[in-house]
Chain A
Amino acid sequence: MEREAAALVELQDIEFAYTKKDTVLKGVNLTVRQGEWIAVVGESGCGKSTLVRLLNALLRPQNGVVSVFGEELTEHNAPLVRARIGMVFQNPDNQFIGETVEEDIAFGLEGLCLDRAEMERRITAYTDKLNISSLLPKHPGELSGGQKQRCAVAACLSMEPEIVVFDEATSMQDERSRRELLGVIRGMKEQGNYTMFSVTHDVDEMLAADRIIALQNGTIRADRTPDTFFEDEEVLRDCGIELPFRLRLEQQLRARGIG
């Protein structure tokens, strides 16, 4: 139905291994269009994080082609591509470079060679958007995990990327900040400017995405919409995903002829 939307990311026959012995990804083919939200799921160690790290050449495949923004990714254009792909990682502490929130956001902007006025404009705009303006002068030690992760999102969005990758960004968060962050991602989806990947174990995050890519032993086990994905118990079991309580209850009720 979204035929006209161009393929923004294209992976062809990807093969990747950290060491010669164990291949992490093999024969991975994937096409993602502008504006899509992809949840990448699977058991720990199935290659989820590896997959998204190929997109901005943080890792390079041994075989296969990665094309982003219609161009094949090479050593040459990697820095340019990185500026257009933002990433938010699992542990907010290890991506906080500045001494304060303000300086941390500025760190990325300095790299874009923006002038001071533009940096100030973006810092104000994106901290307002994420509701963290009051945190600007704070040291990371004074922030909660959720606040730190919001700052990481602000730092990422202020660079105005077209693709945003959340690499288990919610997994170290408590329930409240997990929900808040999910709200932020949903808002980004509604805005439609971003193509998003979220590597996740969180069922709510999977349910909110457009497409679920499930990896198993380095290959794509399933590529479906959340609705059809959660109906297939075999895939769920293979990917280490436990059905959430609500869906389990619905299943049980259906089995009893209710609903």
Chain B
Amino acid sequence: MRDKLIIGRMIPTGSRVHELDPRAKIAAMLLFTAALILSNGWPQLAALAILSILVLTATKIPAKTYLRALRPLRWLMLFVFLFQLIAGAGNGAVNLSAVEPLLWSWTWGPFTLTSAVLSSALLAVSRMALLIVFTAMLTFTTTPSMLSRGVEGMLKPLSRKGTGAERFSLMMRLALRFIPALLEEAQTILKAQAARGADYEEMKLKEKARLLLSLLVPVTVGAFRRAEELTTSLEARGYRIGAPRTAYRQLIWRSADTWFTLLFALLPVGALLMRLTL
């Protein structure tokens, strides 16, 4: 489990992207997602892909690492692809996208697979892949605490009293810190079961499901135990929600951050314009 999950850990390379303000990166992420949702054709997607490749290159993290981040989600991506394909084909000859000319079609029983259906299924998967890779970029270049500070900084103006943002930020910080630990705990329990003759990887699907269900109680109990110890330790260190605090790390917004955000702000605007004009 831990062997495969690599999203969520910062990889220090000291690149420019690492140094950007987390707020700029989060804003970019949101704008990028908006652009992905708005873009409905290959040209837009190609533009987004080129931009992401530029950003990814700038992180100085090898492309192989990004591909590894995609790996654990490959089955989900395949599922999305097939689902789109079957749903599209099931709709018969209805052309999903007006922009796509009908190149070919192939009928089998009630299903009619057209070039447009195939293209839109591929589009859906590509969007998903781009989103995952971009998220991976965000976590590879930003420590969880900087991320949560970024989120807190962005939320602060929204919540009047300020404790909402603080709560959310603390929650995120702790989640990012402890979710890996909980996954590791689940993995240990799976190992304990394997050691006693129930090897997850050797099992049939139904048995697998039963085994995973049996993890629920011990992992939850483990999470509660951790949470309890953590609360005690937070309290013992004088932490109270809403109590006045100073900040050790201040977020510094530089001009590079402004440019970075502006660049990404152009994306959804562009996508929207293309959508309206075409």
- Asked whether the complex places CB atoms of A and B closer than 8 A, the reply is yes
Question: Do residues A87 and B236 form an inter-chain contact, with CB atoms below 8 A?
Answer: yes
| Binding stretch for chain A, among B130-138, B209-217, B224-232 | B224-232
Question: Do residues B232 and A115 form an inter-chain contact, with CB atoms below 8 A?
Answer: no
Candidates A95, A106, A111; contact of B249 at CB < 8 Å: A106
Known: A89-B229, A99-B177. A58 touches B237 (CB 8 A): no
Interchain CA distance A156-B237 in the complex, whole Å: 8
Interface centre among A85, A94, A96, A100 (most CB of B within 10 A): A94
**Interface assignment of A151: CB less than 8 Å from any CB of chain B:** no
B228 to chain A, nearest CB (A): 9
**Interface assignment of A124: CB less than 8 Å from any CB of chain B:** no
Question: Do residues A108 and B237 form an inter-chain contact, with CB atoms below 8 A?
Answer: yes
Contact with A along B230-257 (1 / 0, CB 8 A): 1011111111100111111110000000
Interchain CA distance A87-B229 in the complex, whole Å: 12
**Interface assignment of B173: CB less than 8 Å from any CB of chain A:** yes
Mark out the residues of chain A between 129 and 170 whose CB falls within 8 Å of any chain B CB in the assembled complex. Answer: 141, 155-156, 159
- Residues on B close to A: CB < 8 A? 143-146, 173-174, 177, 180-181, 226, 229-230, 232-240, 243-250
Chain B hits for A115, CB < 8 A: 246
Question: Do residues B233 and A99 form an inter-chain contact, with CB atoms below 8 A?
Answer: no
Candidates B229, B238, B250; contact of A79 at CB < 8 Å: B238
Mark out the residues of chain A between 24 and 81 whose CB falls within 8 Å of any chain B CB in the assembled complex. Answer: 53, 56, 58, 79
Interchain CA distance A8-B174 in the complex, whole Å: 35
Interchain CA distance A87-B234 in the complex, whole Å: 10
Question: Do residues B238 and A83 form an inter-chain contact, with CB atoms below 8 A?
Answer: yes
5 A-B pairs with C-beta separation under 8 A:
A58-B236, A79-B240, A99-B173, A110-B246, A113-B246
**Interface assignment of A112: CB less than 8 Å from any CB of chain B:** yes
A121 to chain B, nearest CB (A): 12
Chain B hits for A93, CB < 8 A: 181
Mark out the residues of chain A between 82 and 118 whose CB falls within 8 Å of any chain B CB in the assembled complex. Answer: 82-83, 85-87, 89, 91, 93-100, 103, 106-116
Candidates A95, A100, A103, A108; contact of B238 at CB < 8 Å: A108
| Chain B residue nearest to A109 in the complex (CB) | B248
Question: Do residues B230 and A107 form an inter-chain contact, with CB atoms below 8 A?
Answer: no
Chain A hits for B248, CB < 8 A: 103, 106-107, 109-110, 116, 119
A125 to chain B, nearest CB (A): 15
Interchain CA distance A177-B243 in the complex, whole Å: 35
A113 to chain B, nearest CB (A): 5
| Chain A residue nearest to B245 in the complex (CB) | A110
Question: Do residues B238 and A97 form an inter-chain contact, with CB atoms below 8 A?
Answer: no
How many chain A residues touch B (CB < 8 A): the figure is 36
Candidates B177, B238, B240; contact of A112 at CB < 8 Å: B238
Question: Do residues A58 and B235 form an inter-chain contact, with CB atoms below 8 A?
Answer: yes
Chain A hits for B143, CB < 8 A: 99-100
Candidates A87, A96, A110; contact of B247 at CB < 8 Å: A110
Interchain CA distance A53-B144 in the complex, whole Å: 31
Question: Do residues A87 and B233 form an inter-chain contact, with CB atoms below 8 A?
Answer: yes
B268 to chain A, nearest CB (A): 31
Mark out the residues of chain A between 148 and 199 whose CB falls within 8 Å of any chain B CB in the assembled complex. Answer: 155-156, 159
Question: Do residues A113 and B245 form an inter-chain contact, with CB atoms below 8 A?
Answer: yes
Candidates B180, B229, B236, B239; contact of A91 at CB < 8 Å: B229
4 additional A-B pairs beyond A82-B236, A87-B237, A99-B144, beta carbons within 8 Å, are A79-B243, A96-B177, A111-B239, A114-B246
Chain B hits for A94, CB < 8 A: 226, 229-230, 233
A90 to chain B, nearest CB (A): 8
Chain A hits for B234, CB < 8 A: 97
Question: Do residues B239 and A56 form an inter-chain contact, with CB atoms below 8 A?
Answer: no
